[in-house]
């Protein structure tokens, strides 16, 4: 599990390689990831937008921006958590993701919170001995 905290809001990420839905012979690798956002600050916040930077093992980079997550712009009250799952395809057996969420506080302030960098590793990755 990967974790980052920004202004009392904790983001936890748990990636999982989806072997049954991947096809290494076609360079198709798929991961699911579950994200938990825990609001430990004293204000209600709403997740407005997301930003992802996705890198594969060959150095190709993709940026994704959009409203909310999985079709929602959840409101998270103090002490509450929001959990969702999504997925990421790559053409290589490993990569990484990192990003941020733009949050709207109940007082009207807008701020970004960090999504920790996390690795996408599959059992199909060839490892070189040192």
pLDDT tens digit string along 4-16?
999 999 999 999 9
| Domain annotation covers residue 129 | no
Whether residue 130 is predicted with pLDDT greater than 70 in this model: the reply is: no
Contact (Cβ atoms closer than 8 angstroms) between residue 57 and residue 89: no
Q: Which two tokens stand for residue 82?
A: 């929001």
| CATH code of the domain containing 45 | 2.60.40.1470
Please check the confidence at residue 113 and state whether its pLDDT lies above 70.
Answer: yes
Please give the tally of structural domains in the chain.
1
Residue of higher predicted confidence among 123 and 19? 19
Distances (CA, A) of 99 to 25, 55, 82, 112: 30, 11, 17, 10
Task: Tell me whether residue 128 is in a domain.
Answer: no
Q: Domain containing 20: what range?
A: 2-121
What are the tens digits of pLDDT across the range 42-66? 999 999 999 999 999 999 999 999 9
Q: How far apart are CA 34 and CA 41, in angstroms?
A: 22
């Amino acid at each position: 599990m990967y974790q980052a905290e920004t202004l009392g809001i904790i983001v936890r990420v748990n990636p999982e390689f989806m072997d049954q839905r991947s096809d290494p012979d076609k360079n198709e690798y798929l991961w699911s990831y579950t994200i938990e956002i825990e609001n430990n600050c004293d204000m209600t916040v709403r997740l407005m937008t997301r930003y992802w930077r996705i890198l594969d093992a060959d150095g190709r980079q993709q940026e994704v921006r959009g409203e909310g997550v999985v079709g929602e712009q959840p409101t998270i009250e103090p002490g509450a958590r929001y959990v969702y799952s999504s997925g990421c395809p790559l053409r290589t057996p490993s990569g990484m993701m990192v990003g941020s969420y733009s949050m709207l506080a109940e007082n009207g302030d807008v701020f970004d919170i960090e999504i920790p960098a996390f690795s996408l590793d599959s059992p199909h990755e060839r490892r070189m001995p040192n």
